[in-house]
Every structure is written in structure tokens, then in C-alpha cells.
């Protein structure tokens, strides 16, 4: 999967940018406030219909304008090109297009343009609340298990109905038991997809961490499914029925699932330094990219903002090596043109984009090497 071209209109300080081609490794460089993150944001908008910096359209759209538009072409290697388009209006309206025709759901975009973001907000994956980790998990399962998404929608419907049944009086008992049964079946299936995904993800994550942070202690990724694992979901729902009625909502289930990274028996977020946390996050995100390739023969695109912050040169290089090894397309930001020279000196398919006051200029393209020796030899 690769982004082949991108048109940006009115995203933050980028009034208009037309980028007709990309390489596998795309470096956006420029001074603070020049618009580098805004380019990554525009790509994110194309794949997710929203920014990774909050959901408000008001902050995303260039001040004084009513809308922003991003259009792009993506292609699977050897596959047909798909044209995607997203428009966001100040009033919150969103319109999505795939091949020129209106798309109904964001999931259509996500399917065509699977994105992984590595930035300062990625710390939420370790230190934030469970929804960030469930989102991470769901993203992965969505891309490798086509039955997951319809099941997830079914589950949402069932839990909504059950919760509203729980809040009503006893007359709703029959209805409640119907929804409980449906929920139990759906939740059990959802959990089985997550468990199967997790069983493949955990060893990939461990071997990535062996390369990124070999000196780290005994590392373990754990999945909490959201209820006592000795019980079926139906049994767990039966056991909590009385208390669910009291509280007026379903307390156990896949909606409470969580992931935990444990090192030598302790929670990673409690023992790791900031840089080590960042490497664990990179490990988690790279493992998903690897698994998607292995299981779905699809590649995700990495949006990497400000990688060097918190990482020393050696670990910075290791992350870049892993990104390179994955063979995925990467969009990465840095301040000065040669900031990433050390990391990508061997990269064969590389493009550099200079960003200045919202203007984006391609510097050099394709078969380019950042290696000064190679450049001198030309
Ligand atoms: N809605 C908006 N309309 C116009 N300009 C905006 C809007 N929101 C932010 N900006 C400006 O856009 C510019 C680009 O921001 P961006 O975050 O992309 O910069 P950057 O190159 O990533 O900088 P840094 O190196 O500091 O991360 C900033 O100068 C910012 O003030
Ligand atoms: Mg930035």
C-alpha cells in the first residue's frame, strides 16, 4: 500500500500543495511552524477523515476559510490505483469520496489507506486510558480479520439495547434476556478474533523489542479480555446481571478489554524511561505493520512526527532500520535536511520535501542516497 500523490487545500498553514509523487521514504524537513506536521495531518485526514491532533475541524481548517480538502491516490503494489477524497467543513460536516463516488463510512477509507502514527501523542498507548489501547487492538484486528468489523457493529448494537433494557423495570426482562444472549454470542466471537490476533502479535512485538531495546528485562504483552477468563462471556454476564441492573449498564465484556506491557513483572509505564517508553510504542506499532503484511498481505503507511525527541541517535537509527526492514512507506519529519542523514543513508527509494511557510517543495526524488560518500561519488 502506498500513497502515490496528494493534493492539500487549506489544511492549517498549507493553502494549497500539490505533490504528484512520493517515494517509499519521504522526509519532510523545515523550520518550526513551517507545516511539516500539517502534511502528516493531511494524510491522516485522507485515511481517517480526521486529524490526529483532536477532532475539531475549526483548528484544522486554515483560518478564515469554510472548509479543507485532501485528495490522494493510493495503490497496492501491483494493484489498481484508488482515488480518495475528504472534505471537512467548519460546521463539522464531512464528505468522503472513493473513486469519485460518495463513501458512506470512514471504514472504506481506512481499508484503502491504513495508517500508523508515531508522534508525541502515541505515549497514550502506554500511559493513557484503555480506549487508546482498545483502538490500537481494533485497528489491527480490523485489517487482518474481515469478520471483525461487522461483528463489532453488531456488538455495539446489542450492548446499547441491553443497557437500555437494564435501565428499564422488570417488564423488560424477556427483552433483556434476548439482548443478553445476542450480546454473549457476539462478544464471544469478538473476543476470539482479538485473541487470535493477539497470539500472533505478541511474539512479533517481543522480537522487535529484542532488536530495539535488547537490554530490557523479561518483556510480556498481555491481553485482558474484559471479563474473568475462566468464564464464557455468557456466564460472566449472568454473574454480573444483578449488579448490572443496579448500575444500569453492562460492566463486563470486550468493551472493557485492555492491553498491558509488563517488564519483569512490573507495568512498563511505571518503570521505563521516556525514551524506553517511546521505543516500546514503536515496537507495538511496527509489530502491527509486520502482522498486517504477514496475515493480510497489505502494508500500512507510517506517519512519523518528530522521531528524534526522546530518542538518542542510536535508538533513533534502530527505529529507522526497522521501518526500512518492514518495507512500508514512511512519511517522516525533521527540522534540518541532514538530521536524518545518518538514519537513512542506505535508503534507496527516498524523497525529500522542503516545507517553508506552508509551501512544500520537492528537493530530490527516487534513487537518491543521503550518504555523503555516495553523493560525492556521483
Ligand atoms: N487553522 C490554522 N490556520 C492557519 N495556520 C495554522 C492553523 N493552525 C495552525 N497553524 C499554523 O500552521 C503552522 C504549521 O504548523 P505545524 O504544526 O505543521 O508546523 P511544524 O512544521 O510541524 O512545526 P514544528 O517543527 O514546530 O513541529 C504553524 O505556524 C501554526 O501556527
Ligand atoms: Mg511539527
- Domains observed in the chain: 1-114+299-378 (3.40.50.300), 120-298 (1.20.1050.90)
How does pLDDT run across 313-338, given as a tens digit for each residue? 999 999 999 999 999 999 999 998 88
Question: Which helix (H) or strand (E) segment is 82 a member of?
Answer: strand 81-89
User: Which residues, 6+ apart, have CB-to-CB distance to 356 below 8 Å?
Assistant: 30, 31, 34, 35
Give the span between the Cα atoms of 305 and 23, in whole angstroms. Answer: 17
pLDDT of residue 377: 36
The pLDDT-based confidence of 375 (bands split at 50, 70, 90) is very low
- Determine if residue 314 is left, alpha or beta; phi over 0 gives left, psi from -120 to 50 gives alpha, anything else beta: alpha
The answer to whether the beta carbons of residues 133 and 259 sit under 8 Å apart is yes
What 3-state class would DSSP assign to 116?
strand
Residue 364: pLDDT band by 50, 70, 90 thresholds?
Answer: low
Average pLDDT estimate for 132-150: 96
Report whether pLDDT(367) > 60.
no
Task: Return the pLDDT at 80.
Answer: 86
pLDDT (0 to 100) of residue 55: 78
> Which residue's CA is minimally distant from atom 17 of ligand 1?
37
Q: Which three cell numbers stand for residue 11?
A: 489544511
DSSP assignment of 274-333: HHHHHHHHHHHHHHHHHHHHHHHS---EEEE-STTTT--HHHHHHHHHHHHHHT--EEEE
Grid cell 537490554 in the structure block, residue: 215
Largest CA-CA distance found in the chain, in angstroms, rounded: 83
Instruction: Examine the pLDDT at 344 and tell me if it is beyond 80.
Output: no
Task: Please state, for a pLDDT cut of 90, what percent of the chain lies above it.
Answer: 83
Q: Is the CB of 51 under 6 A from ligand 1?
A: no
Q: What is the percent of the chain with per-residue pLDDT over 70, rounded to a whole number?
A: 95
Q: What secondary structure does DSSP assign to 11-24, as a single string?
A: ETTEEEEEE----S
Residues 156 and 153: their CA atoms lie apart, in Å, by 5
Ligand 1 atom closest to the Cα of residue 60 is: 1
Residue 66 CA to residue 72 CA, distance in Å, equals: 21
Is 13 a pocket residue for ligand 1 (Cβ < 6 Å)? Answer: yes
Give residue-wise pLDDT tens across range 86-123: 999 999 999 999 999 999 899 999 989 999 999 999 99
> How many angstroms separate the Cα of 49 from the Cα of each of 57, 70, 98, 318?
10, 9, 12, 31
For 216-274, what is each residue's pLDDT tens digit?
888 999 999 999 999 999 999 999 999 999 999 999 999 999 999 999 999 999 999 99
| Helical packing angle, 313-326 and 274-296, nearest 10° | 10
Distance separating alpha carbons of residues 231 and 196, to the nearest angstrom? 18
30 lines ligand 1 (CB under 6 A): yes
Cα–Cα distance, 191 to 17 (Å, whole number): 43
Asked whether the beta carbons of 13 and 357 are under 8 A apart, the reply is yes
Give the count of beta carbons closer than 10 Å to the beta carbon of residue 264: 11
In ligand 1, the atom with minimum distance to the C-alpha of 31 is: 25
Annotated binding site for ATP: 30-37
> Which helix (H) or strand (E) element contains residue 58?
helix 57-60
- Going by alpha carbons, the residue nearest to atom 19 of ligand 1 is 33
**CA dihedral sign of residues 338, 339, 345, 349:** negative
Whether 365 has a pLDDT exceeding 70, the answer reads no
pLDDT at position 19 over 60: yes
User: Could you tell me which residue, 231 or 366, shows the higher pLDDT?
Assistant: 231
Is pLDDT above 50 for 358? yes
pLDDT tens per residue, range 283-310: 999 999 999 999 999 999 999 999 988 9
Ligand 1 and 62: CB distance under 6 A: yes
Amino acid at each position: 500500500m502506498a500513497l502515490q500523490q496528494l493534493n492539500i487545500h487549506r489544511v492549517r498553514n498549507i493553502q494549497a500543495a500539490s505533490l504528484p509523487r512520493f517515494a517509499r521514504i519521504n522526509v519532510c524537513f523545515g523550520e518550526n511552524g513551517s507545516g511539516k506536521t500539517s502534511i502528516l495531518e493531511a494524510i491522516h485526514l485522507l485515511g481517517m477523515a480526521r486529524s490526529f491532533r483532536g477532532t475539531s475541524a475549526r483548528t484544522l481548517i486554515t483560518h478564515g476559510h469554510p472548509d479543507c480538502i485532501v485528495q490522494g491516490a493510493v495503490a497496492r503494489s501491483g494493484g489498481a490505483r484508488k482515488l480518495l477524497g475528504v472534505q471537512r467543513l467548519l460546521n463539522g460536516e464531512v464528505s468522503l469520496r472513493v473513486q469519485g463516488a460518495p463513501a458512506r463510512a470512514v471504514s472504506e477509507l481506512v481499508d484503502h489507506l491504513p495508517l500508523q502514527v508515531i508522534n508525541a501523542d502515541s505515549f497514550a498507548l502506554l500511559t493513557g486510558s484503555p480506549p487508546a489501547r482498545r483502538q490500537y487492538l481494533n485497528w489491527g484486528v480490523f485489517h487482518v480479520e474481515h469478520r471483525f468489523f461487522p461483528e463489532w457493529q453488531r456488538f455495539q448494537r446489542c450492548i446499547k439495547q441491553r443497557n437500555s433494557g437494564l435501565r428499564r423495570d422488570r417488564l423488560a426482562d424477556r427483552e433483556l434476556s434476548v439482548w443478553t444472549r445476542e450480546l454473549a454470542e457476539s462478544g464471544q466471537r469478538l473476543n476470539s478474533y482479538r485473541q487470535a490476533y493477539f497470539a500472533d502479535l505478541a511474539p512479533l512485538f517481543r522480537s522487535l523489542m529484542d532488536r530495539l531495546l535488547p537490554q530490557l528485562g523479561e518483556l510480556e504483552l498481555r491481553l485482558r479480555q474484559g471479563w474473568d477468563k475462566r468464564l464464557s462471556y455468557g456466564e460472566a454476564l449472568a454473574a454480573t446481571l444483578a449488579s448490572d441492573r443496579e448500575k444500569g449498564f453492562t460492566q463486563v465484556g470486550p468493551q472493557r478489554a485492555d492491553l498491558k506491557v509488563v517488564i519483569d513483572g512490573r507495568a512498563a509505564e511505571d518503570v521505563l524511561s521516556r525514551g524506553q517508553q517511546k521505543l516500546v510504542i514503536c515496537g507495538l506499532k511496527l509489530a502491527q505493520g509486520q502482522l498486517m503484511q504477514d496475515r493480510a498481505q497489505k502494508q500500512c503507511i507510517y506517519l512519523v512526527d518528530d522521531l528524534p525527541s526522546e530518542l538518542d541517535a542510536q535508538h533513533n537509527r534502530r527505529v529507522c532500520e526497522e521501518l526500512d526492514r518492514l518495507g512500508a512507506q514512511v512519511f517522516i519529519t525533521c527540522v534540518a535536511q541532514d538530521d536524518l542523514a545518518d538514519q537513512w543513508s542506505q535508503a534507496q527509494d527516498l524523497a525529500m520535501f522542503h516545507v517553508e511557510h506552508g509551501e512544500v517543495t520537492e528537493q530530490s526524488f527516487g534513487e537518491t542516497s543521503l550518504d555523503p560518500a555516495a553523493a560525492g561519488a556521483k
